[in-house]
Amino acid sequence: MKLGAYADYDSRKVALAESALFTIWPNLEPWHDDLVLVGGLVPRYICGDTSTPRQLPRPVTLDADIGIALGASAGGMSSMQFALLEKGFHKATSPEGLIRYEKEVGDYSVPVDFLTDAPPHTQGSATVDDIVASVLPGINRALKTARTVKVSGADLAGTRQTATLRVCEVGSFLALKLRAFFHREQPKDAFDILYTLLHYDRGPAAAVAAFADEARAENTACPDALLCLQRHFDSEASLGPSKAAQFFPGPATPGEPADLRFQRLQIQQEMVNAARLLKAGLSSTGGHR
Protein backbone atom coordinates (compact mmCIF):
# COMPACT_ATOMS: atom_id res chain seq x y z
CA MET A 1 0.00 0.00 0.00
CA LYS A 2 1.27 3.48 -0.93
CA LEU A 3 0.31 6.54 1.12
CA GLY A 4 0.04 9.96 -0.46
CA ALA A 5 2.59 11.91 1.60
CA TYR A 6 5.70 11.27 3.64
CA ALA A 7 4.03 12.62 6.78
CA ASP A 8 1.33 9.92 6.50
CA TYR A 9 3.82 7.13 7.26
CA ASP A 10 3.92 5.83 10.85
CA SER A 11 7.60 5.36 11.78
CA ARG A 12 6.81 2.25 13.85
CA LYS A 13 5.13 0.54 10.90
CA VAL A 14 7.95 1.61 8.57
CA ALA A 15 10.48 -0.08 10.88
CA LEU A 16 8.44 -3.31 10.80
CA ALA A 17 8.99 -3.69 7.05
CA GLU A 18 12.74 -4.11 7.52
CA SER A 19 12.18 -6.32 10.58
CA ALA A 20 9.97 -8.58 8.45
CA LEU A 21 12.84 -8.98 6.01
CA PHE A 22 15.28 -9.91 8.80
CA THR A 23 12.69 -12.38 10.11
CA ILE A 24 12.16 -14.40 6.93
CA TRP A 25 15.49 -14.07 5.09
CA PRO A 26 17.36 -16.74 7.14
CA ASN A 27 14.51 -19.22 6.58
CA LEU A 28 14.71 -18.63 2.82
CA GLU A 29 18.39 -19.58 2.64
CA PRO A 30 17.85 -22.50 0.19
CA TRP A 31 16.49 -20.01 -2.36
CA HIS A 32 18.84 -17.04 -1.78
CA ASP A 33 20.47 -17.29 -5.21
CA ASP A 34 17.01 -16.95 -6.79
CA LEU A 35 15.83 -14.03 -4.65
CA VAL A 36 16.42 -10.28 -4.75
CA LEU A 37 15.10 -7.45 -2.60
CA VAL A 38 13.14 -4.94 -4.69
CA GLY A 39 10.72 -2.15 -3.77
CA GLY A 40 10.85 0.58 -1.17
CA LEU A 41 13.52 -0.93 1.07
CA VAL A 42 16.15 -0.86 -1.70
CA PRO A 43 17.36 2.77 -1.27
CA ARG A 44 18.18 1.95 2.35
CA TYR A 45 20.93 -0.37 1.13
CA ILE A 46 22.24 1.28 -2.06
CA CYS A 47 22.24 4.95 -1.04
CA GLY A 48 25.12 4.96 1.43
CA ASP A 49 25.50 6.35 4.93
CA THR A 50 22.35 8.03 6.23
CA SER A 51 23.77 9.16 9.56
CA THR A 52 24.41 12.70 8.29
CA PRO A 53 21.53 15.09 7.51
CA ARG A 54 20.24 15.15 3.94
CA GLN A 55 17.96 17.50 2.08
CA LEU A 56 15.48 14.68 1.47
CA PRO A 57 14.18 12.33 4.18
CA ARG A 58 15.05 8.66 3.94
CA PRO A 59 12.54 6.71 1.79
CA VAL A 60 9.80 4.86 3.64
CA THR A 61 7.81 1.72 2.93
CA LEU A 62 5.26 -0.47 4.71
CA ASP A 63 6.13 -3.79 3.06
CA ALA A 64 9.04 -5.93 1.96
CA ASP A 65 9.05 -6.81 -1.75
CA ILE A 66 11.09 -9.81 -2.86
CA GLY A 67 11.70 -10.72 -6.49
CA ILE A 68 12.00 -14.42 -7.27
CA ALA A 69 13.16 -16.34 -10.35
CA LEU A 70 10.28 -18.14 -12.03
CA GLY A 71 12.10 -21.48 -11.89
CA ALA A 72 13.26 -21.17 -8.28
CA SER A 73 13.29 -24.47 -6.43
CA ALA A 74 15.10 -26.05 -3.53
CA GLY A 75 15.07 -29.36 -5.38
CA GLY A 76 12.16 -30.81 -3.44
CA MET A 77 14.14 -30.61 -0.22
CA SER A 78 12.26 -27.65 1.25
CA SER A 79 8.96 -25.78 1.01
CA MET A 80 9.11 -22.01 0.72
CA GLN A 81 5.58 -21.66 2.06
CA PHE A 82 6.51 -23.77 5.10
CA ALA A 83 9.59 -21.59 5.63
CA LEU A 84 7.28 -18.58 5.79
CA LEU A 85 4.76 -20.35 8.03
CA GLU A 86 7.53 -21.18 10.48
CA LYS A 87 7.96 -17.44 11.00
CA GLY A 88 4.23 -16.80 11.29
CA PHE A 89 3.59 -15.49 7.76
CA HIS A 90 0.31 -16.65 6.23
CA LYS A 91 -1.19 -16.21 2.78
CA ALA A 92 -3.40 -13.12 2.52
CA THR A 93 -4.85 -10.77 -0.09
CA SER A 94 -3.61 -7.22 -0.60
CA PRO A 95 -6.00 -4.24 -0.99
CA GLU A 96 -5.30 -4.52 -4.74
CA GLY A 97 -6.47 -8.15 -4.74
CA LEU A 98 -2.99 -9.71 -5.05
CA ILE A 99 -1.69 -12.65 -3.03
CA ARG A 100 0.85 -11.74 -0.37
CA TYR A 101 2.15 -13.13 2.93
CA GLU A 102 1.43 -11.39 6.23
CA LYS A 103 2.19 -11.68 9.93
CA GLU A 104 0.14 -10.05 12.68
CA VAL A 105 2.20 -7.84 14.97
CA GLY A 106 -0.04 -6.29 17.57
CA ASP A 107 -2.85 -4.54 15.73
CA TYR A 108 -0.96 -4.40 12.42
CA SER A 109 -0.39 -6.88 9.58
CA VAL A 110 3.20 -6.83 8.30
CA PRO A 111 3.19 -7.76 4.58
CA VAL A 112 5.78 -9.45 2.36
CA ASP A 113 5.11 -9.53 -1.39
CA PHE A 114 6.75 -11.92 -3.86
CA LEU A 115 7.19 -10.79 -7.47
CA THR A 116 8.36 -12.64 -10.56
CA ASP A 117 9.05 -11.98 -14.24
CA ALA A 118 7.06 -14.19 -16.61
CA PRO A 119 7.42 -12.89 -20.18
CA PRO A 120 5.38 -12.27 -22.25
CA HIS A 121 2.92 -11.80 -19.37
CA THR A 122 2.92 -8.36 -17.72
CA GLN A 123 0.31 -8.95 -15.03
CA GLY A 124 -1.40 -11.69 -13.07
CA SER A 125 0.36 -14.24 -10.90
CA ALA A 126 2.51 -17.34 -11.12
CA THR A 127 3.27 -20.18 -8.73
CA VAL A 128 6.96 -20.36 -7.90
CA ASP A 129 8.07 -23.37 -5.85
CA ASP A 130 4.90 -23.48 -3.71
CA ILE A 131 4.12 -19.78 -3.24
CA VAL A 132 2.10 -17.35 -5.35
CA ALA A 133 4.08 -14.46 -6.83
CA SER A 134 2.68 -11.45 -8.69
CA VAL A 135 4.01 -10.96 -12.22
CA LEU A 136 6.17 -7.84 -12.58
CA PRO A 137 8.31 -7.13 -15.67
CA GLY A 138 11.91 -6.27 -14.76
CA ILE A 139 12.44 -8.82 -11.98
CA ASN A 140 14.75 -11.00 -14.08
CA ARG A 141 17.15 -8.11 -14.61
CA ALA A 142 16.97 -7.24 -10.91
CA LEU A 143 17.99 -10.83 -10.18
CA LYS A 144 20.80 -10.81 -12.74
CA THR A 145 22.38 -7.51 -11.65
CA ALA A 146 21.76 -7.72 -7.88
CA ARG A 147 24.45 -6.60 -5.47
CA THR A 148 25.27 -8.45 -2.25
CA VAL A 149 25.02 -6.37 0.92
CA LYS A 150 25.77 -7.35 4.52
CA VAL A 151 23.36 -5.59 6.88
CA SER A 152 22.23 -5.74 10.49
CA GLY A 153 18.93 -5.04 12.16
CA ALA A 154 16.25 -6.40 14.48
CA ASP A 155 13.75 -9.05 13.43
CA LEU A 156 10.08 -8.95 14.45
CA ALA A 157 10.94 -10.65 17.75
CA GLY A 158 13.43 -7.88 18.54
CA THR A 159 16.45 -10.15 18.08
CA ARG A 160 19.47 -8.58 16.43
CA GLN A 161 20.27 -10.22 13.10
CA THR A 162 23.05 -9.92 10.54
CA ALA A 163 22.11 -10.95 7.02
CA THR A 164 23.73 -11.05 3.60
CA LEU A 165 21.06 -9.77 1.21
CA ARG A 166 20.81 -9.73 -2.56
CA VAL A 167 19.58 -6.22 -3.33
CA CYS A 168 18.28 -4.74 -6.59
CA GLU A 169 20.92 -2.53 -8.22
CA VAL A 170 20.20 1.05 -9.18
CA GLY A 171 19.61 0.61 -12.93
CA SER A 172 16.98 -2.08 -12.44
CA PHE A 173 15.49 -0.22 -9.48
CA LEU A 174 15.00 2.97 -11.51
CA ALA A 175 13.44 0.97 -14.36
CA LEU A 176 11.02 -0.70 -11.95
CA LYS A 177 10.13 2.57 -10.22
CA LEU A 178 9.55 4.46 -13.47
CA ARG A 179 7.39 1.64 -14.76
CA ALA A 180 5.47 1.66 -11.48
CA PHE A 181 4.87 5.40 -11.75
CA PHE A 182 3.71 4.99 -15.35
CA HIS A 183 1.03 2.53 -14.24
CA ARG A 184 -0.12 3.87 -10.87
CA GLU A 185 1.06 7.51 -10.67
CA GLN A 186 1.84 7.27 -6.97
CA PRO A 187 3.74 10.19 -5.35
CA LYS A 188 6.00 7.83 -3.42
CA ASP A 189 7.36 6.23 -6.61
CA ALA A 190 8.38 9.64 -8.01
CA PHE A 191 10.04 10.59 -4.72
CA ASP A 192 11.96 7.29 -4.57
CA ILE A 193 13.33 7.93 -8.07
CA LEU A 194 14.60 11.38 -7.08
CA TYR A 195 16.08 10.26 -3.77
CA THR A 196 17.90 7.32 -5.33
CA LEU A 197 19.41 9.38 -8.15
CA LEU A 198 20.61 12.08 -5.74
CA HIS A 199 22.00 9.75 -3.07
CA TYR A 200 23.11 6.57 -4.85
CA ASP A 201 26.32 5.52 -3.11
CA ARG A 202 28.34 5.35 -6.35
CA GLY A 203 27.14 8.75 -7.54
CA PRO A 204 24.42 10.09 -9.86
CA ALA A 205 26.51 9.53 -13.00
CA ALA A 206 26.85 5.84 -12.18
CA ALA A 207 23.09 5.60 -11.59
CA VAL A 208 22.38 7.22 -14.96
CA ALA A 209 24.81 4.87 -16.73
CA ALA A 210 23.27 1.83 -15.01
CA PHE A 211 19.78 2.84 -16.15
CA ALA A 212 21.04 3.21 -19.74
CA ASP A 213 22.55 -0.28 -19.43
CA GLU A 214 19.10 -1.63 -18.57
CA ALA A 215 17.60 -0.08 -21.70
CA ARG A 216 20.35 -1.64 -23.82
CA ALA A 217 19.86 -5.00 -22.11
CA GLU A 218 16.14 -4.89 -23.01
CA ASN A 219 14.96 -4.98 -19.42
CA THR A 220 11.26 -5.82 -19.71
CA ALA A 221 10.40 -2.89 -17.42
CA CYS A 222 12.11 -0.38 -19.73
CA PRO A 223 9.52 0.15 -22.48
CA ASP A 224 7.07 1.57 -19.93
CA ALA A 225 9.88 3.26 -17.99
CA LEU A 226 10.99 5.15 -21.12
CA LEU A 227 7.43 6.15 -21.94
CA CYS A 228 7.11 7.42 -18.38
CA LEU A 229 10.18 9.63 -18.77
CA GLN A 230 8.86 11.02 -22.05
CA ARG A 231 5.35 11.75 -20.83
CA HIS A 232 5.59 12.71 -17.17
CA PHE A 233 8.89 14.49 -16.43
CA ASP A 234 9.28 17.34 -18.95
CA SER A 235 8.67 20.34 -16.68
CA GLU A 236 8.06 21.34 -13.07
CA ALA A 237 4.32 21.19 -13.78
CA SER A 238 4.48 17.65 -15.22
CA LEU A 239 2.94 14.78 -13.31
CA GLY A 240 6.20 13.24 -12.04
CA PRO A 241 7.75 16.37 -10.48
CA SER A 242 4.36 17.47 -9.12
CA LYS A 243 3.75 14.11 -7.49
CA ALA A 244 7.27 13.98 -6.01
CA ALA A 245 6.70 17.34 -4.31
CA GLN A 246 3.23 16.21 -3.21
CA PHE A 247 4.90 13.34 -1.36
CA PHE A 248 7.54 15.57 0.22
CA PRO A 249 7.23 18.19 1.59
CA GLY A 250 3.53 17.44 1.09
CA PRO A 251 0.40 18.67 -0.70
CA ALA A 252 -0.06 22.42 -1.06
CA THR A 253 -2.37 24.01 1.51
CA PRO A 254 -4.02 27.46 1.52
CA GLY A 255 -1.91 30.07 3.28
CA GLU A 256 1.11 27.83 3.71
CA PRO A 257 4.48 29.50 4.50
CA ALA A 258 6.55 30.80 1.60
CA ASP A 259 9.52 28.60 2.54
CA LEU A 260 7.34 25.50 2.18
CA ARG A 261 6.23 26.61 -1.30
CA PHE A 262 9.86 27.23 -2.21
CA GLN A 263 10.86 23.77 -0.95
CA ARG A 264 8.13 22.17 -3.05
CA LEU A 265 9.27 24.06 -6.16
CA GLN A 266 12.85 23.04 -5.47
CA ILE A 267 11.85 19.36 -5.35
CA GLN A 268 9.99 19.76 -8.66
CA GLN A 269 13.02 21.38 -10.29
CA GLU A 270 15.37 18.68 -9.02
CA MET A 271 13.01 16.00 -10.31
CA VAL A 272 13.07 17.58 -13.78
CA ASN A 273 16.87 17.79 -13.67
CA ALA A 274 17.10 14.15 -12.61
CA ALA A 275 14.88 13.09 -15.52
CA ARG A 276 16.99 15.12 -17.93
CA LEU A 277 20.10 13.31 -16.72
CA LEU A 278 18.42 9.95 -17.36
CA LYS A 279 17.31 11.02 -20.85
CA ALA A 280 20.77 12.39 -21.68
CA GLY A 281 22.36 9.15 -20.52
CA LEU A 282 20.09 7.16 -22.79
CA SER A 283 20.87 9.37 -25.78
CA SER A 284 24.64 9.35 -25.26
CA THR A 285 24.82 5.55 -25.10
CA GLY A 286 22.25 4.74 -27.75
CA GLY A 287 20.03 3.18 -25.10
CA HIS A 288 16.97 5.22 -26.04
CA ARG A 289 15.45 3.70 -29.13
Q: Along the 289 residues of the chain, how does pLDDT read in single tens digits?
A: 689 999 999 999 999 999 999 999 999 999 999 999 999 999 999 998 767 778 889 899 999 999 999 988 766 557 999 999 999 999 999 888 889 999 999 989 999 999 999 999 999 999 998 899 999 999 999 999 999 999 999 999 999 999 999 999 999 999 999 999 999 999 999 999 999 999 999 999 999 999 999 999 999 999 999 999 999 999 999 999 999 999 999 999 999 999 999 999 999 999 999 999 999 999 876 554 4
Query: Are 140 and 220 within 8 A, CB to CB?
Result: yes
Query: What backbone phi and psi angles, to 5 degrees, belong to 194?
Result: -65, -50
Query: What backbone phi and psi angles, to 5 degrees, belong to 15?
Result: -65, -30
Give the residue among 270, 284, 289 at the shortest CA–CA distance from 209.
284
User: Could you tell me the sign of the dihedral formed by the alpha carbons of 169, 175, 176, 181, in that order?
Assistant: positive
Residue range(s) defining the domain that contains residue 77: 6-168
Helix (H, G, I), strand (E, B) or coil at 127: strand
Give the residue among 139, 57, 157, 146 at the shortest CA–CA distance from 103.
157
Claim to verify: residue 66 and residue 141 sit in the same structural domain: yes
Tally of domains within the chain: 2
Whether 1 is covered by a domain: the verdict is no
Claim to verify: residue 279 and residue 206 sit in the same structural domain: yes
SS3 content of the chain, % helix, strand, coil (to 5): 45, 20, 35
DSSP state of 73: -
Looking only at the bridges linking them, the beta strands covering 125-128 and 131-135 are: antiparallel
Claim to verify: residue 130 and residue 47 sit in the same structural domain: yes
